[in-house]
Structure 1
Amino acid sequence: MGRRPRADDRCRCVDRSEVLVSENQNPTPGRDVTTTSGAQDPERFTDPGVPAHKLRLTDTDPAARRRNERLVVLLFAISCLGAIGSIVAYFAVRPDGTTEGVRLSTIALGVTMAISLLGIGIAAIHWSKSLMSDHEHVDERHELASSPEVREVAVQHLTDGVEDSGIARRGVLKGAAVSALALFPLTFAVPLISSVGGDWNISKFRHTLWERGTRLAYDPTGRPIRAADLTVGSAAHVIPEVPQEYMESHEWITEKAKAVVLLVRLNPEDLRSDQSPEGETWSYDGIVAYSKICTHVGCPVALYEQQTHHLLCPCHQSTFDMADGAKVVFGPANRPLPQLPITVDDEGYLIAQDDFAEPVGPSFWERLK
């Protein structure tokens, strides 16, 4: 049952014109109200202007200003040390082929590069907040195409801004800023330059760990997969079955990245393409296996939509049809996902018939399609 309204629940309806008349008779101080005919909403108010400027401590205290200058110089110096440390870490902390070595090298490079970049960023922010001019300026809107006079004024404003920053008068500060900005690009330029003579053997992308008779195993446990264990509509992330000691090696990380597969069981009647160009059957009883590496830029493709049989790449939304040879139906990818030909062994486990018939991953200079 609803409650009955009380007297204090009722509201008094006031005509809009009464409110406007009341405002016009007793206008708010400092506000110019203009109304249109018919007592509509106010259409113009007086510009309140720029609030009174408040001086900072560095504007009134020379000692505080010098302290802030030294602090900014210190931050730029820390950035320089971080950049130098990054270069040292690149050569001194090299990956030794183990997971721990790769992790240590990555952490050393990441921390030193972060120190270098953060030093520049924090120094620039502190400089602008404590030492640069903070006076408010109002510029009227104008047409996009500025007149020569306006452009001259803009150039003058930029010149005034450089003068306000004080960079010309503060030699130590300028030197620290230039040094930090000059050293930071070396943190990624040195590794790039030093890798020019590295391993450019692209033939390794043509072959993976898959070979005839290799069992398909669940990722990451490595447990072999029976065809009978998969129901229609199910999907599984798959790796090749390898010895446990090999799974603990650094080489396994690289090889696994090329060999990962998404396994899906479809209704056999839904399959529109499950054969190689030579006419061989590459699926087994509706079970298909495709590379998880997107043919666009190599992201992991693993978002499977059961009703449409579409596989979506989360990076750039390339979409592949699992029922039709993993052909591209949407997005920037320009070729289907490579298919792993599969069958079953005498014990009912899923095995590979062979390696992928084409290189996995994105296209490269020897494979444009």
Structure 2
Amino acid sequence: MAAEEPLPNPGIEPHTPRPTDVDKKAEKRAERQVATFFGLSMICTILFVVAYFALDIKDDPDTIGGLGASNVALGLSLGFALLLIGIGVIQWARKLMADVEIVEYRHPATSSQEDREATLAALSQGLEESGIGRRPLVRNTLLGSVALLGIPAVVALADLGPVATKSVRKRTLETTFWRSGTRVVNDVTGLPIKADDLEIGQLVNGEPEGLVHVPEHREGVTYLEGAALQIEKTKSAVIAVRMQPDEITFSRRSPENWSVAGILVYSKICTHVGCPISLWEQQTHHLLCPCHQSTFDLADGGRVVFGPAARPLPQLPITVDDEGYLVAQSDFNEPVGPSYWERDSE
């Protein structure tokens, strides 16, 4: 079926050639301008990497006009790197690519084989008219500026955290805020938990003293702030439960001297994917994770009795201090939270 004739000219002015279409010097000048934008983009990308490593963001951060120098420098350098590539591409399209009017005829639905071949030919023609093959300076600077943009992404990966070597895991993932003599406090009120105040069947959500702020800080206790506080809270949360001592099944994993008068303290972090758990069924001594229904028997060392969790809940060794408050004997003797393939401390 023959294509229909285009509509009559609605009044479009005759095509006016651009200076770069008729003047070789103007064309070369435009080419150098585009390459300059791409080159400046590469310089901005390099400045991003330099600023990332050179500007201090820790104890005494560098500032620019009262703002964090690192944020300002990283934002401006990466922003200009992207902006200059955009400007270069726009200038390339406006001054150097083919400047012709194109008429496209509509077709019912599926194009014919001839139309498909014509489209491929048009794409090839467009690639030729863009001049990318004939303008190595523009092509190479564009490729260089875009390629360098991958460097900030790679450099910024360092902000995801340190490389998880054995020593790094030992002092981060596998260590919590609990120390010998640290009191177990209520995670809401911050008040220390007295052994005599817990009733049979009761469960209390707790934290180590120093992670819950109270109006009057106890002398000699370190209280964390900011990011350090939030990091420790994700690892150190516990639950304290009390049951009849004769209902507890002590084992080599859960020695008898880790409990006080039937009181046991376990990590609150599920060993499956790290959900906080406190759904307590006092008759069966089972603790249920609400995320994926992993169930732990707290009377038997936190053993998994149902669900996808692969490890028992870590138990915190506890005792009481001179005032009768629950305190830790030490940190957990195993990592808390989800399992990970590098785990080698068990």
Check conservation: 2:200, 2:244, Cα contact below 8 A: no
Q: Which residue is equivalent to 2:167?
A: 201
C-alpha change, 1:185 and 1:232, in structure 2 (3 Å) is farther
Q: CA deviation at 1:260?
A: 1.7
Q: Which residue is equivalent to 1:84?
A: 46
Q: Distance in 2 between matches of 1:164 and 1:329?
A: 67
What secondary structure does 2:239 align onto? strand
**Which amino acid in structure 2 is aligned with residue 327 of structure 1?**
V
**Residues 131-153 of structure 1, C-alpha deviations (whole Å, 9 max, x = no match):** 899979877499xxxx9x99999
Alignment of 1:1-369 (within 5 A): 80=42, 82-96=44-58, 98=59, 107=71, 111=75, 115=79, 119=83, 140=110, 159=124, 162-163=127-128, 167-168=132-133, 174-190=139-155, 201-202=167-168, 203-205=170-172, 206-218=174-186, 223-227=191-195, 228=197, 236=205, 238-241=207-210, 246-247=222-223, 256=232, 259-263=235-239, 265=241, 277=253, 279-280=255-256, 282=258, 285=262, 288-290=265-267, 292=269, 295=271, 301-302=275-276, 304-305=278-279, 309-312=287-290, 320-324=294-298, 325=302, 327=304, 329-331=306-308, 334-361=310-337, 362-365=339-342, 367=344
Point out where structure 1 has 5 or more consecutive residues left out of the alignment.
1-51, 53-58
**Residues 96-137 of structure 1, C-alpha deviations (whole Å, 9 max, x = no match):** 4x3968x9587468636863786499779979x998999798
What secondary structure does 2:289 align onto? strand
Q: Distance in 2 between matches of 1:121 and 1:311?
A: 51
Check conservation: 2:185, 2:192, Cα contact below 8 A: yes
> How many residues are matched?
297
Q: CA deviation at 1:352?
A: 1.2
**Which amino acid in structure 1 is aligned with residue 314 of structure 2?**
P
C-alpha change, 1:266 and 1:113, in structure 2 (3 Å) is farther
Higher relative contact order (CA 8 A, sep 6+): 2
Check conservation: 1:319, 1:328, Cα contact below 8 A: no
Point out where structure 2 has 5 or more consecutive residues left out of the alignment.
1-6, 8-14, 20-26, 212-218
C-alpha change, 1:90 and 1:199, in structure 2 (3 Å) is farther
Q: Distance in 2 between matches of 1:339 and 1:218?
A: 18
